[in-house]
Structure 1
Amino acid sequence: MRRNPLALGVFIAIAVVVGQALLIPLFAAPAANLAPRDLPIAVAGPPQVVAQLEKEHPGAFEVTTVADAAAADSKIKDRDVYGAILVTATGAEVHVASAASPTVAQLLTQSAAALGSDVAIRDVVPVDPDDPRGAGFVAGFLPLAITSLLAGVLVYFFVPRRSARLIALTTFAALAGVAGAAVQIGWLGILPGDYWAVAGTLALFTLAISAAMTGIAALVGREGLGLGAVVMFLVGNAISGIAAAPELLPQPWGEVGQWLPIGAGGTLLRSVAYFGGSGGGFAATVLSAYAIGGLLLVLIGRRGLAKKTAAAATEAEPELVGAH
């Protein structure tokens, strides 16, 4: 049955517009509704400080009471909290960690105005001086995610054997980690931290996405590539919280984003590059699950397209000979 070109064209137009209508709020709504939601902070001072925060910002902060500035800074460096408000007899201080989130650091700095005009601001863990607003850190994730998706797709279509797919995916991840760390640390200088630790983090991140893409497609067919791209890239990027913080996004999306590779990758890279790995355990577990799960799906999934095509050609050859 021949398809009506006009009807097909109208259907495509409607489908694209519907997709567009869904994508706009997916990306715009989280960005337009950034606000602290149970944001972990530390407070050292009289009980009235905590009471005032809860009264003026209900539900905004998850407060941990600490004894002094040293205890507050320890929690910041361990990534237990994003910052601290300290009120002592000598005055008030606000400690932030712009490396954890420049947006949160700015928010806490602005909130310090309520404590008085002479509040001291201290950045306990600052961003790299070559990336003062943290924009390079955020922008660096998009090409890594795109190329990892592309690698997963190409391996599925052009590498038929399961063992060869495993080798291709792990080789890609290793090279992507080494090259990515070289660019961001050595060339652009936008990341501090140990080179090999950063390279390992980027390798795990790229393997999580590429292996998951190939593995899903190997299990359910090429339709799995579209599903993987939508969930891991489009949705995952929108709710990753990389540009702000998961606790600033509407919930439960901020938390859900940490279960997807881009959100987990951003958290782990911040932890490794700036905090010596502190606070990155859950993110590392999530990425490892995607990477290992994807490789297992490659092993148990169907054989590659190229192998199928070759097999089909072999079966068809006797018929062609007979026809001649």
Structure 2
Amino acid sequence: MRAEEASGTSAAGPGTGPQPGAPKGAPGGAKKYALMVLFPFVMVMLLVSVYSGAMHSPSPKDMPVAVVGQTAQAEKLASGLEATDGSRVDVRLVSTVAEAEQLLHDREISGAFALPTTTDSAAVLYTAQAAGASQATIVESIFQPVADAQHLDMDHKDVTPLPTSDGMGIAVLFTAIGWMLAGYLVVTMVSSGAPELSSRRRMVPLMAGWAAVMSTMVWLLVGPVIGAVDGHAWALLGLGWLSVFSVAMAQTFFARVFGPLAVLPGIALFMFLGVPSSNIMMSIYTVPGMFAFLHEVLPLPAAGEALRSILYFGGDGVGGHLAVLGAWAVAGLLLTTGIDRLRRRGKGRATAEAEHITAESASAEALAAA
């Protein structure tokens, strides 16, 4: 062997072969840099386009409201409001204030306008601040011109007020956001930083325990520590556990499919699309129609509405929202199970083919030797 070969160099001179610490080839480097830029680019585009597109110009559309009364004047007002405002409101006529208040409690209407019962009394606008502070403001902006046109004073009655500790109703939103973050971020970190824990057998109990811990911590913060939420400890702990666990199971499936980029569909579904469709920061009747659909199917709206039902409406209507969260948990688990089985079968077939090829090669070598 020549001296240069023994020393690991060639006649072409030193440094021709791969050197320790040398940068990778251009294709690999280009892919790495492209992925580095892609993540922040997509995040910014999602945030700006979704939030601005949904909330830059809120305007009511088919907002359900009621006019209270059995008189001809009430009927005329209801039909006139429907004709004047067109698609802005969906007006119904109800007979009594008690009926209107029940509809507000059930969140089937956003507000109710009652004409004066005597010549010296005022009209009354009934709203439920706990169903959305911004929604109550929009209802007032709809009916104040009606009262002004008829030279009526208008009193306001809030049938379900928000607590003084949370006059804007934002505790519900940020509690639900905390649950979403706890669910999808931990799966992303485990999948990239500790892949040995990503098997379904390990991930399910791990996420069940994590959901219990984070549900407790979030409740401690918004309840005893900050005081934004009062009471309902066991209900909030249970809802928090289900919210975190359901998002974690869904994110586990995304991690199987998208790998390190799973954070993108996760943050898009659980945050960027979830906030405008939550019906908490802004009324669902003031955002584009797509978000009204997403309000019925995404985890953040389900968690937020369930929490609001528990805190302010005695749990009425919470069942449907819990069903949405449960569906995300079950779907994530089933889809993850399915994709794991498909991959195992694929690996099994590849192993069988490799063994077959090895056996044929061994047979050919034996025949050649004979």
**TM bracket (short chain):** 0.7 to 0.9
Q: State the 1:11 CA deviation.
A: 8.8
1:52 aligns with 2:52: no
What is residue 97 of structure 1 aligned with on the other side? 128
Identity %: 24
Asked if structure 1 preserves the Cα contact closer than 8 Å seen for 2:188 and 2:262, the reply is no
What is residue 281 of structure 1 aligned with on the other side? 319
Return the alpha-carbon distance in structure 1 between the equivalents of residues 162 and 133 of structure 2.
8
Q: State the 1:72 CA deviation.
A: 0.8
Q: Which 5+ residue runs of structure 1 have no aligned equivalent?
A: 304-324
Asked if structure 1 preserves the Cα contact closer than 8 Å seen for 2:160 and 2:312, the reply is yes
What is residue 43 of structure 1 aligned with on the other side? 67
Q: Which moved more, 1:227-236 or 1:60-69?
A: 227-236
- CA distance 1:272–1:219, shift in 2 (3 Å): same
1:69 aligns with 2:97: yes
Equivalent position to 2:142, from 83, 86, 111: 111
- CA distance 1:11–1:286, shift in 2 (3 Å): closer
Equivalent position to 2:242, from 168, 179, 204: 204
Asked if structure 1 preserves the Cα contact closer than 8 Å seen for 2:276 and 2:287, the reply is no
Asked if structure 2 preserves the Cα contact closer than 8 Å seen for 1:165 and 1:298, the reply is no
Q: State the 1:270 CA deviation.
A: 1.1
- CA distance 1:130–1:15, shift in 2 (3 Å): closer
SS in 2 for 1:191: coil
Describe the superposition over 1:129-152 as per-residue Cα deviations: whole angstroms up to 9, x where unpaired: 101122333333333322221122
Which of structures 1 and 2 has the larger relative contact order (alpha carbons within 8 angstroms, sep 6+)?
A: 1
What is residue 223 of structure 2 aligned with on the other side? 185
Q: Give the alignment's TM-score, normalised by structure 2.
A: 0.73
Describe the superposition over 1:271-297 as per-residue Cα deviations: whole angstroms up to 9, x where unpaired: 121112223333222111111222333
- CA distance 1:18–1:260, shift in 2 (3 Å): closer
What's the RMSD between the two structures over aligned residues?
2.8
Q: State the 1:193 CA deviation.
A: 5.3
Larger radius of gyration: 2
Q: Give the alignment's TM-score, normalised by structure 1.
A: 0.82
Equivalent position to 1:129, from 132, 152, 164: 164
SS in 2 for 1:302: helix
Equivalent position to 2:189, from 142, 145, 154: 154
- CA distance 1:238–1:108, shift in 2 (3 Å): closer
- CA distance 1:7–1:149, shift in 2 (3 Å): closer
Return the alpha-carbon distance in structure 2 between the equivalents of residues 216 and 75 of structure 1.
40
- CA distance 1:220–1:176, shift in 2 (3 Å): same
